[in-house]
Chains A and B, each alone.
Chain A
Amino acid sequence: MDPVFFIVFRRMRQPLLMLIVAYAIAILGLTLIPGKDADGNVWHMGFFHAFYFVSYMATTIGFGEIPNEFSDAQRMWVTFSIYATVVVWFYAIGTLLSLIQNKGFRQAVTEMRFARHIKSLRERFYLVCGYGETGSELVRALIDHKQHAVVIDIDETRINELSLEALREHVPALCADARRPVHLIEAGMNNGKCAGVVAVTNSNEANLKIAITSKLLNPSTKVICRADSHDYEANMASFGTDEIIDPYDTFAIMLATALQSPCLYVLLEWLSGAANENIHEPVYPPAKGKWIVCGYGRFGKAIFERLKDEDIEVVVIEATPEKTGKPENARFVEGRGTEAVTLKEAGIEDATGLVAGTDNDANNLSIIATALEMNDQLFTIARKNLSENKDLYEALPCNMVMNPGNIIANKIRVLLATPMLDSFIGLAYYQDDAWACELASRISGVIDDVVPDIWEIRIDSEEAYAVIEFIKRGFSVTLADITRNRYDTESQLNLVILLYRGKDGELLLPSDKQVLYPRDRLLICSQRGVRHSMEWALQNQNVLEFLLTGKTPIQSTLLRKILN
């Protein structure tokens, strides 16, 4: 039984005992005290009448004196009983009410309901710890990709926000501290339905604790963590955490990609962006010339390393070198970078790029503004620390903004919602820039200016019933067939098939003539809505037959016999 019942029982024991004793005394007294009826005969009240009378007396309903009018002795007893029983009743009700309002009790009830709900879940789900900027975006993406999520957050306002959000499906949420293992267990971390644990709280320590708990209690769970420092990363890795995402390193890699292959950078931005976001203009960070990096903390160091790898000249500006250390083999200027003097000393006039990477948003904004006044040709990158300053950064004429929440959400979304996209990105890194440019222009041809819809299909009887049926009947179904427009068979649907995985191996941008087999998987990129059109060809046998043969099949068995 749940502990909640025991709490209620234990707390209600005293009031209930007092209630029984008070009732018993009142009833017994009434049966013992003699009364006189209208004719002057002595009568004794039976237990039945006494119980009836006390029941309505104690609850202050008061139907009057029955069965006969009371004698004065009886009235004296009743006066005493009224005070005794009514007070005890109030005591019992008061105890019950205070128990219900008790914060600990309510938390226990909420947790009990939550745990029961999680136990009844039939589908596999992801447990998302932390429903901040990253967590909320991630949950939305999971739900959009027909997956399920369960949320734990320590902040009640965020849980309330979740319940207000218009998600397509119910997301169970618990307001509790995810650092405590019991809460992770209540959230179903080791009940076999949990596909993975995502720790994206804003505390490194909490993320580490979640990773440890998950890996120790259920080693087979996939664990994805956010970590802002290398110490924590190493610690998480030692517990076998599957994916550790460091927003600073991730951004530095993106910058390196943009330097080496701008087209690939644009392509990855489009493919991994959040749904309904506007697509970004391509950026071309200068790969030649001098870069100035302000702030040599975790972010500054990650950027510095990447720029050095590209053989770019870097000047570092840092206010507290005794804390962060000084870069080797690079020029170093001490200062905050917000003053023109420091920037001048670093050589802002002939620099081509500037990174404002301190951990203070006001300083970063000031650095960018000052630097652009001195050299308006600069390519600028700003680090955003607090999401509440989003509008300020949007107003600033800055080429790239590093936004930790978005970076982590994008990365995890790719990993969980579209795992094939992760393989695609891995393969794309091996291609040259010309390949990426061609693909980018192909994709820009099929989408308008919002982030494209990326989805996976599996050729099986659930997701592609018609295709499976036709393969069984001996037809050879190719990619060209299923992507044909059903209203105009000469044209194709507006989509790009990014990856084929199945019988013929893993193929990047498979050709139209690729034949499909059962259990093959496809990764497709298109405008929103195209997916629905394509489902006709995948699921409806008549539509697919028309696309394959150009003829509309006769539906009725009788007509078919007559006409053939």
Chain B
Amino acid sequence: MNPEKVIFGFFIILAATLNFGFFIGEIDNPDHHPVYELFFVVVVNLIATILKFGDRTQMGALLLATSLVAVLQLIAASVIWGIAEYATGEGMTPVMMASIVSLSGGALMANVISVVLLVIETVMMRR
């Protein structure tokens, strides 16, 4: 067992599952999408991205790309959340909430691809 692979797999799957947890629920209902969960999704995704740095293989490059996509969408979601809460002066509206959740849905897609790639890589190694 390679401890590096354990940590690597742990963060990638955690990123996907947390993302799913945040995404699930009524799309425009703020009560179904706690902000703490979004925070953890962003942090875990950032960590997963950094872990993928410095891998020179084709698979490594693809994994990094999916993570970058996820992080980009999640940061966009956080920015929208910040704008809705503080900049507009109206507080969180269903429209804003819907766009945050749909962005996190996009990130979820990327995270799922990441997990699939991880599984493929593991199968290819056959060890």
A13 touches B51 (CB 8 A): yes
Docked Cα-Cα span, A16 to B49, in Å, equals: 10
B47 touches A17 (CB 8 A): yes
Classify the interface of chain B: helix, strand, loop or mixed.
helix
Chain A residues 1 to 55 lying within 8 A of chain B, measured CB to CB, are: 6, 9-10, 12-13, 16-17, 20-21, 24, 27-28, 31, 46-48
Chain A residues near B10 (CB-CB < 8 A): none
CB nearest to A17 among chain B residues: B50
Docked Cα-Cα span, A9 to B56, in Å, equals: 10
Chain B residues near A48 (CB-CB < 8 A): 81-82, 85-86
| A24-B43, A27-B39 given; A16·B50 CB < 8 A | yes
Q: How many whole Å from B101's CB to the nearest CB in chain A?
A: 16
B54 CB within 8 Å of chain A: yes
Chain A residues near B56 (CB-CB < 8 A): 6
| A9-B53, A46-B85, A48-B82 given; A21·B39 CB < 8 A | no
B46 touches A20 (CB 8 A): yes
A10 touches B47 (CB 8 A): no
Docked Cα-Cα span, A12 to B52, in Å, equals: 12
Chain A residues near B53 (CB-CB < 8 A): 9-10, 12-13, 16
Chain A residues near B82 (CB-CB < 8 A): 47-48
Q: How many whole Å from A45's CB to the nearest CB in chain B?
A: 12
Q: How many whole Å from A244's CB to the nearest CB in chain B?
A: 42
CB nearest to B60 among chain A residues: A6
Chain B residues near A16 (CB-CB < 8 A): 50, 53
CB nearest to A18 among chain B residues: B50
Q: Which of A13, A16, A27, A47 has the most CB of B within 10 A?
A: A47
Chain A residues near B46 (CB-CB < 8 A): 20
A46 touches B50 (CB 8 A): no
* 26 interchain pairs, CB-CB under 8 A: A6-B54, A9-B54, A10-B53, A10-B54, A12-B53, A13-B53, A13-B54, A17-B47, A17-B51, A20-B43, A20-B46, A21-B43, A24-B43, A27-B39, A28-B36, A28-B39, A31-B39, A46-B35, A46-B86, A47-B39, A47-B78, A47-B81, A47-B82, A48-B81, A48-B85, A48-B86
Docked Cα-Cα span, A20 to B82, in Å, equals: 19
Interface size (A, Cβ < 8 Å)? 16
Chain B residues 24 to 58 lying within 8 A of chain A, measured CB to CB, are: 35-36, 39, 43, 46-47, 50-51, 53-54, 56
Docked Cα-Cα span, A20 to B15, in Å, equals: 15
Within 8 Å by CB of B50, from A6, A20, A31, lies A20
Docked Cα-Cα span, A28 to B43, in Å, equals: 11
Chain A residues near B50 (CB-CB < 8 A): 13, 16-17, 20
Q: Which of B35, B43, B53, B85 has the most CB of A within 10 A?
A: B53
Chain B residues near A17 (CB-CB < 8 A): 47, 50-51
Chain B residues near A24 (CB-CB < 8 A): 39, 43
Residues of B with Cβ closer than 8 Å to A?
A: 35-36, 39, 43, 46-47, 50-51, 53-54, 56, 78, 81-82, 85-86
Chain A residues near B43 (CB-CB < 8 A): 20-21, 24
Docked Cα-Cα span, A133 to B85, in Å, equals: 73
Docked Cα-Cα span, A9 to B64, in Å, equals: 12
Chain B residues near A13 (CB-CB < 8 A): 50-51, 53-54
CB nearest to B39 among chain A residues: A47
Docked Cα-Cα span, A24 to B78, in Å, equals: 14
Q: How many whole Å from B53's CB to the nearest CB in chain A?
A: 4
Chain A residues 44 to 72 lying within 8 A of chain B, measured CB to CB, are: 46-48
Q: How many whole Å from A31's CB to the nearest CB in chain B?
A: 8
List of 6 A-B pairs having minimum Cβ-Cβ separation, nearest first? A10-B54, A9-B53, A9-B54, A24-B43, A48-B82, A16-B50
Chain A residues near B47 (CB-CB < 8 A): 17, 20-21
Chain B residues near A6 (CB-CB < 8 A): 54, 56
Chain A residues near B51 (CB-CB < 8 A): 13, 17
Docked Cα-Cα span, A414 to B77, in Å, equals: 70
Docked Cα-Cα span, A20 to B6, in Å, equals: 20
Q: A9-B53, A13-B54 are in contact. List 19 more A-B contacts (CB 8 A).
A: A6-B54, A6-B56, A10-B53, A12-B53, A13-B50, A13-B53, A17-B50, A20-B47, A24-B39, A24-B43, A27-B39, A28-B36, A28-B39, A46-B35, A46-B86, A47-B81, A47-B82, A48-B81, A48-B86
Docked Cα-Cα span, A470 to B36, in Å, equals: 86
Q: How many whole Å from B87's CB to the nearest CB in chain A?
A: 9
Q: How many whole Å from A44's CB to the nearest CB in chain B?
A: 11
Docked Cα-Cα span, A13 to B47, in Å, equals: 9
Q: How many whole Å from B70's CB to the nearest CB in chain A?
A: 15
Chain B residues near A9 (CB-CB < 8 A): 53-54
B54 touches A47 (CB 8 A): no
Docked Cα-Cα span, A31 to B36, in Å, equals: 9
Q: Which of A13, A17, A31, A48 has the most CB of B within 10 A?
A: A48
Docked Cα-Cα span, A31 to B39, in Å, equals: 11
Chain A residues near B54 (CB-CB < 8 A): 6, 9-10, 13
Q: How many whole Å from B23's CB to the nearest CB in chain A?
A: 18
Docked Cα-Cα span, A47 to B82, in Å, equals: 8
Docked Cα-Cα span, A31 to B46, in Å, equals: 20
Chain B residues near A21 (CB-CB < 8 A): 43, 47
Q: How many whole Å from B81's CB to the nearest CB in chain A?
A: 8
Chain B residues near A12 (CB-CB < 8 A): 53
Q: How many whole Å from A277's CB to the nearest CB in chain B?
A: 53
Chain A residues 352 to 384 lying within 8 A of chain B, measured CB to CB, are: none
Docked Cα-Cα span, A47 to B78, in Å, equals: 9
CB nearest to A32 among chain B residues: B36
Q: How many whole Å from B105's CB to the nearest CB in chain A?
A: 20
Chain A residues near B81 (CB-CB < 8 A): 47-48
Chain A residues near B36 (CB-CB < 8 A): 28, 31
Docked Cα-Cα span, A47 to B35, in Å, equals: 8
Docked Cα-Cα span, A16 to B52, in Å, equals: 12
